[in-house]
Structure 1
Amino acid sequence: MYDLHNIYKSAQNGNLSFFQEHINEKLFKETVFISSYAKSGDTVLHYAVRHGHFDLVKYLVDEGFNLELGNFDGKRPLHEAAHFGQAVCLKFLLTKGVNVDALKRADWTPLMLACTKDDLTVVQILVENRANLHLKNKDGWNCFHIAVREGHLPIVQYLLKQDTSLWDTASKNGRTPLHTAALHGRNDVLEYLLDVCQYGTDMKDSCGSTPLMDALRIQDVDAAKLLISKHQTDVMMEDNLGRQALHIASQTGACKSVQLLVEHCKVNPAGTCSTNGATALHIAAKEGHVGVLKLLLDFGVNSNVIDAKGRTALHIAAGAQHADCVLILLQHGADCRLDKAGTSPKQLVVKQDVLKVFDQFEDT
């Protein structure tokens, strides 16, 4: 019985002579050709391809190794070559007639894996060998969508030149490449997409989010300005929960986004969600974002503004047990008025540190 660890280590190191020395031994060849690494299901060919040992790859293939064997993740040697940028191995495997669109787990093709890396050459090799540009993985992402997420502009440009309709795609939750570029801060790609693609203004994903909301969510002010000036996006659009961009920026604690919307876009800092009447102040209080809370109060938002249930931001902060937010609101004139259910903010307190803030403030 052969030591599998030694065999796989030899494959990883590209030790061709080791395999040449033992390949004519029946038990060795059977072991190499049918065994896989226990944790991943990788074969020796996976290892050799992943590390770019072309001589060993060619030798194993010439000896009759099955090129379509997948590991436990469904990755075949071609997936490995594409994922790890092994262009020489990739070309060789393709000359052997392997399936260029083979699917690994979650329906990822070699081209999709190549688009996660900044290697245009590998992408070109696959496309030139007729990789299907329009296949989608289980989440509904095609290769173009993936390249946009990674922010590799040359790959994005190359793919779009191969098929000018590639941009017109959406994931299963309705997210377009434009959403993805905005959410991941890929501003050079975002600007390119706005220049050459025909994305509709303010398109929404399945949650009702627009690309602008995504940019503001991560506090990417430059992307937001680009969308507002170049895409004429509407800063007052609502998502499925009735929240506008200001509410979403407040939810994530994006102070710079809040400033942009109020100061540059003249958004009302006290504007309410259409579904529940909550303001950005309520939302910031719920999430415990002290910076946004202070900013909104400085913009003149009334600390006692109420939502549809008559709750103030103090109710929300107290219920969420955010002592620092409770203190700021009390310092800005928030009072312990009852909501429509007859509940005061202090009645919602569970933690002693929050109760202490109320007690200390009452004593002053």
Structure 2
Amino acid sequence: MAVFVWLTSLVTVMVLQSANNPEDKISMEPVFTFDPADLEFIDYENMTFGCPYTCQEIIMSVLIGALFLAAVYQHKLLKREIKEMNTVFGQCIKGDGEMSAVSNFYSETECLIKDMKRKSKAMEKRFKKIEQRIPIKEDLELIKDDVDYLKDSWSNQYTTFSLLDINLNIKANSEDLKVQLAEIQGRFDAAINEVEGYMVEDEGILKSIVGDVQMLESYFEMKGIFSAAKKGDLTFIQSQNIDETTTDDDGANCLHYVCRGGNVTLVEYLVNTKQFNVSKKTKFGSTAFHEASASGSLDIVKWLWTNTQVNIDEGDDVGATPLHIAALYGQLLVVHWIINNTSCDLLLKTKKGATCLHFAVVGGNLKVVKLILTEIPRSINLQLDNGATPAYLACQYGHLEILKYLVEKNANMKMKSFDGMSYVHAASQGGHLAVVKWLVKEQGCNANDRDLDGASCLHFAATNGRASVVAWMMKEGGAKVTLDNLGGSPLHNAAELGHFEVLNLVMRKLYTCFDFVFCACNNQVIKALLDNGCDVNITDNDGLTAAELAEKCHQSGCAALIRGEIK
């Protein structure tokens, strides 16, 4: 093969040489004639051999031969790749589990593409119906069927179909709904989708399109008119036949959604043209004013107060006014405007006795807390119906900076809730170690305070599994392991609720037979006590050991485990 290639290259060079010599003429005469008599004149001893071609011509012929060989090799590779591609498409077309070859690659591929286009058109029709607010269950089922087909057909073949330039876009209301294969397979991070011209969340369309029909139905129910309302699409809202009775599952209508979004022009349209009632409430008692206050839509707040007959002190289902809600969500500008421009009652309480300062502390916005406390300083020690003060709530929710500010403004640190819980109780219950440390170390609060039931701060920390608080209080906070009024220890609380990390911290502090009996239903706790050296021979006031007390309480399994009769 190599010799053939070299000879071919040599002939090529000769032809090129002749072509480059226009003076050379092709002669029909032989280039060499043989005469036997000529042999006697040949000087064999001094004869030399020469090459009729130059070195440059020989190198050129070799290079041409190499290129020819490379072309042949590349041809073989291409044939192999085509064969492999046939196999891949055979698998794709025949199904996930079969590897049979495709007899007619191009015709099969063409059929597949046509089928995909047909499916895309079918999906387009379904989406258009849904966009027209006709979420018929049969249509949703058809969409699910289409999606299942696409998932099965396109599984792990994204690169292959990209080579065929298959259009994966589906037109939806003059906008591209880009449903890429990767997204259908759940790769939501690659999502850039548009429905009705609006950016939508991955969890909406993408999680729905993978087969959850119920979620899809709910998604389009929420993302239709209400999405447009929240986005402030006046043109779309004007094209819809809606009124204030068109609500979501929570009773919120378009006006509520617009107030969440902040488009004051659309609010004017709904109130003045569509005659929406600004006092209409959701299932939770929120009015348009509540929604605007929560979202910080100051322009809407101003417009509603100036142009409608809103009740600034109207409460929702828990009695929270727009001022309460704005304070809770940290909407500083709205809080400031309401305080300074309306006739609201700054000390108005909710049904459980919370003022706007309580709400602000829970929300955790220090600037809002400072603003409210500046306007109504006398609210600093007001208590809820359960006795909790703003400072107590700051401890409960772990807002240390707010707590420090309240203390700076003379908050009463000795006040307790009506069940006897102190600020350290509240912080321990919530697991806020930084607050606990500050209260005990900086403010000198008692780490062994007990509520009306005799429960210490350690009880509350153990009950809620706050291992870091338990560890610090026992090591550095000076907390002691005590029994409450019912004889329960922090060990009991941790064991009952399965907080074994806390259990390991506490068990070395209090070993009594009562612990065994209390934990009789939990063999893991009993074994942990035994493994940590608990003395099983100690007795109670009646002289009963833990095993004897367990038998008396009809806990024979517990007694056997304590005695070591079972493992």
The gaps in structure 1 that reach 5 residues or longer are: 272-277, 320-325, 336-360
Report deviation, 1:294.
Answer: 0.7
Report deviation, 1:2.
Answer: 4.9
Partner of 2:321: 76
Rg comparison, structure with higher value: 2
**Contact 2:447/2:473 (CA < 8 Å) preserved in 1?**
no
Q: Which moved more, 1:304-313 or 1:176-185?
A: 304-313
Partner of 2:244: 3
Q: 1:41 to 1:248 in 2, by over 3 A?
A: closer
**Contact 1:207/1:240 (CA < 8 Å) preserved in 2?**
yes
Partner of 2:448: 202
**Contact 2:323/2:356 (CA < 8 Å) preserved in 1?**
yes
| Secondary structure in structure 2 of the residue aligned to 1:291 | helix
Q: 1:47 to 1:202 in 2, by over 3 A?
A: same
Q: Which moved more, 1:297-306 or 1:194-203?
A: 297-306
The C-alpha deviation readout for 1:301-331, integer Å capped at 9, x for no partner, is 4668776596533665748xxxxxx3x7635
Report deviation, 1:297.
Answer: 1.6
| Secondary structure in structure 1 of the residue aligned to 2:301 | helix
Is 1:294 the counterpart of 2:527? The answer is: yes
- Residues in 1 aligned to 2:293 and 2:447: alpha-carbon distance in whole angstroms: 45
- Residues in 2 aligned to 1:290 and 1:188: alpha-carbon distance in whole angstroms: 35
Partner of 1:279: 514
State the number of aligned residues: 312
- Residues in 2 aligned to 1:74 and 1:261: alpha-carbon distance in whole angstroms: 42
Q: Residue 157 of structure 1 is aligned with which of 380, 383, 404? A: 404
Report deviation, 1:261.
Answer: 3.7
Is 1:333 the counterpart of 2:563? The answer is: yes
Q: 1:261 to 1:68 in 2, by over 3 A?
A: closer
Report deviation, 1:65.
Answer: 2.8
Partner of 1:313: 550
The C-alpha deviation readout for 1:36-58, integer Å capped at 9, x for no partner, is 22512222111111122111111
Partner of 2:295: 51
Partner of 2:136: none
Aligned residue identity for 2:244 = D
- Residues in 2 aligned to 1:281 and 1:36: alpha-carbon distance in whole angstroms: 58
| Secondary structure in structure 1 of the residue aligned to 2:453 | coil
| Secondary structure in structure 2 of the residue aligned to 1:32 | coil
Q: 1:317 to 1:219 in 2, by over 3 A?
A: farther
Q: Mapping of 1:1-364 within 5 angstroms?
A: 2-4=243-245, 5-21=253-269, 28=275, 32-33=277-278, 35-63=279-307, 64-96=309-341, 97-131=343-377, 132-163=379-410, 165-200=411-446, 202-235=448-481, 237-263=482-508, 267-269=509-511, 271=512, 279-285=514-520, 288-301=521-534, 308=542, 311-313=548-550, 316=553, 318=555, 326=557, 330=560, 333=563
TM-score normalised by L of structure 1: 0.75
The gaps in structure 2 that reach 5 residues or longer are: 1-241, 246-252
Report deviation, 1:155.
Answer: 1.3
Identical-pair percentage: 23
**Contact 2:440/2:446 (CA < 8 Å) preserved in 1?**
no
Q: What's the RMSD between the two structures over aligned residues?
A: 3.0
Decide which structure has greater helix share. 2
Partner of 2:156: none
- Residues in 2 aligned to 1:89 and 1:331: alpha-carbon distance in whole angstroms: 64
- Residues in 1 aligned to 2:516 and 2:243: alpha-carbon distance in whole angstroms: 68
Aligned residue identity for 1:187 = L
Q: 1:186 to 1:110 in 2, by over 3 A?
A: same
Report deviation, 1:211.
Answer: 1.0
Partner of 1:346: none
- Residues in 1 aligned to 2:551 and 2:536: alpha-carbon distance in whole angstroms: 8
TM-score normalised by L of structure 2: 0.50
Q: Which moved more, 1:193-202 or 1:165-174?
A: 193-202
- Residues in 2 aligned to 1:209 and 1:314: alpha-carbon distance in whole angstroms: 28
- Residues in 2 aligned to 1:10 and 1:188: alpha-carbon distance in whole angstroms: 41
| Secondary structure in structure 1 of the residue aligned to 2:268 | helix
- Residues in 2 aligned to 1:18 and 1:261: alpha-carbon distance in whole angstroms: 61
- Residues in 1 aligned to 2:347 and 2:447: alpha-carbon distance in whole angstroms: 34
**Contact 1:227/1:233 (CA < 8 Å) preserved in 2?**
yes
- Residues in 2 aligned to 1:21 and 1:183: alpha-carbon distance in whole angstroms: 49
The C-alpha deviation readout for 1:239-294, integer Å capped at 9, x for no partner, is 1113344444444444333433454xxx352x2xxxxxx52111111xx3333211
Q: 1:67 to 1:329 in 2, by over 3 A?
A: same
**Contact 1:303/1:334 (CA < 8 Å) preserved in 2?**
no
- Residues in 2 aligned to 1:15 and 1:300: alpha-carbon distance in whole angstroms: 69
Report deviation, 1:197.
Answer: 2.1
**Contact 1:170/1:176 (CA < 8 Å) preserved in 2?**
yes
Report deviation, 1:332.
Answer: 5.2
